[in-house]
Structure 1
């Protein structure tokens, strides 16, 4: 009768530690996740956790788009995926069926919290389209109803039953949306650490689309779209260079903001005086500004030897300078920015701040200003079309470079 007892003890002594070790091992690999900021609103995304040399790293996935976490930690119980550049994080614990946890992020009114779950089981492959209606192309989108309706441009692509794309407005695009298209029903979502969007639609008569758009609050907004040819797509939205302009083209821009506590930068400083300057009205919390920063850095490195200066004016969520400078530093580090980024104030008071107060038609972030050597605004551009917009991203980079060349030639 002692043999079974010894066997049980042996099993307990040998296998139980192995089980604990397996549970304590970091949850490396690919995860398929769903965020639910409000009941009934599910937004899909992916997680990738990698271990190399005992160190963890990872990325937030939206279709083929990858955004690296600033850090990944695992203490045997909790997985922390940091999005420090957005002052946010995903924290999860293991469950029998995968991971479960919460996304949190600081915003002006407090903190956003949303539960999420993740599994290693990939969703079923989308079924191929059941109709001949192709999704790929540009679509004229009307969001909302009546006087509150606004125009957006939808640019979508399909590969079999998979769909990707984004929406474009006056301040930029809605990020790397991804989902499914079966020829009749469209579902696109994105969660990039800030944007939390879901777009649903069904095909209607004449090849149109209609459905609902929901953001983090979950309040549905009706939308409809029709396909556009190349000419229609080119004129559906006003160009970024025609939305905002200087109220007085002869007025000179002047400001003085801190680049660090106790250290201000002015356009009258020797490094900026009598030089053409590109100014980005930006914010560390703004995904489109994150898309723009590497492009501006590339232009700065390429043309600073010819006299170009670049300055970013960052409008942050709070008046707390410690937090604001911390977030600006994280923004700078993430993109390897070498041009100065100044703390220009809060988003709440931005419209009364120079140089925004000198603008007519200002819509938001980013807005890029091109100043001549006398620091007059000769060109202004609203928004930024990022990598999710495909060919428009390449065209935007070319447009900005041509504007820089024009400044240097004046």
Structure 2
């Protein structure tokens, strides 16, 4: 009896500690980042599973599942492994108060945020909208360095505004918001950077407003244009004069050197993807390429990814690229190309890399035939469908040669 009493007495502190650990309440949560110039709203959902708590970030049709949620005392740490970032917060009454940090940047002070349990809209609305954002727009981002014309695609259905903005380097992915008597608002947070777009209609075919991030804002203006289009992505990046092929030799995650002269690639059509694990559009491209490769590799085509990362420490590179490969169930080679900015050294044949991702199409003789800059993913609807059609047509033509 005395032994049982002592055992219970010894266990009491641990039982109390477990009881004092706060946990996230299942259901929808509303949150706001305290950015420098505005509050940027985002929404997430909490579910309890057999393996623990899971958090899902919600942006329109997009669902970003975060499965690494750790509790410590009165705090919670939500890891966003795709981008090496984290939401960490303390429970204060019925609220969460914390900070979003980029773990890869040691000096990053982070962006404060607050969240509370509520199944509510991302934005409040004030009256009925005078105009609609539905359709395609020329959207100009203005800066002292010069204006950049992009393409906005928006859809309004059942009071919900969704869409994306396409740039020559890629799209802003899934935006969600509303229109009302004051104009329109859209936001998104998928784990890397929070966005907010605010605008006012000048008339049915013109708007002006701001593109807002955690660190500042940029003026934008829009003109309705159902023919809105970007520059031809196959004309933005070129080979330097005198070059016809790529001659890299880079290690894979097993530290084995790989080149396009290896038997695996000789005599085959090869798609080279220049990427980074930190790049949202690169992840979208990998989501397309990974299943595509499995379905087409027996046709005599190979895919190889060249990853340029934020850091070059082997442990870091191994971690982020392994996470990427496992998430997308990627079976083609991913090679360690170096640090962001090393492209001129690794790929001297290319006349300046314009964007991540950049996709290079190589024929059976080893010659570069096409270079595609950027990637507009599933958030862009018909633009994504057009890309897939063009991609398959080009590969089919190269295979037929």
TM-score (normalizing by structure 2) = 0.89
Partners of 2:144 and 2:158 lie apart in 1 by 35
Partners of 1:132 and 1:26 lie apart in 2 by 40
Cα distance per residue 1:12-66 (max 9 Å; x no partner): xxxxx99x95974543222111122x33332211122211225222211223311
Q: Is the 8 A contact 2:343 2:353 kept in 1?
A: no
Instruction: Work out which of the residue numbers 64, 72, 76 in structure 1 matches 2:69.
Output: 72
Give ranges in structure 2 of 5+ residues lacking alignment: 1-14
Q: Are 1:401 and 2:399 an aligned pair? A: no
Q: Are 1:39 and 2:32 an aligned pair? A: no
Give how far 1:342 is off. 0.5
Equivalent residue runs for 1:170-189 within 5 Å = 170-189=168-187
Give how far 1:199 is off. 1.1
Equivalent residue runs for 1:1-400 within 5 Å = 21=19, 24-36=22-34, 38-53=35-50, 55-107=52-104, 110-111=107-108, 113-123=110-120, 126-127=124-125, 130-145=128-143, 148-205=146-203, 207-218=205-216, 220-229=217-226, 232-233=227-228, 236-248=229-241, 251-260=244-253, 262-354=255-347, 357-360=348-351, 362-400=353-391
Cα distance per residue 1:131-184 (max 9 Å; x no partner): 452211111011115761111101111224432111110111012111221154
- Secondary structure in 2 matching 1:398: helix
Partners of 1:251 and 1:112 lie apart in 2 by 46
Partners of 1:348 and 1:395 lie apart in 2 by 30
Larger % of helix: which?
1
Is the alpha carbon distance of 1:70 and 1:360 closer, same or farther for their aligned partners in structure 2, counting shifts above 3 Å? farther
Partners of 1:227 and 1:401 lie apart in 2 by 31
Cα distance per residue 1:44-100 (max 9 Å; x no partner): 111222112252222112233111114122345222211112111111221213211
Moved more, 113-122 or 283-292: 113-122
Partners of 2:361 and 2:230 lie apart in 1 by 22
- Secondary structure in 1 matching 2:78: strand
Give how far 1:361 is off. 6.0
User: How many residues are matched?
Assistant: 385
- Secondary structure in 2 matching 1:141: strand
TM-score (normalizing by structure 1) = 0.87
User: How well do the aligned residues superpose, as a CA RMSD in angstroms?
Assistant: 2.4
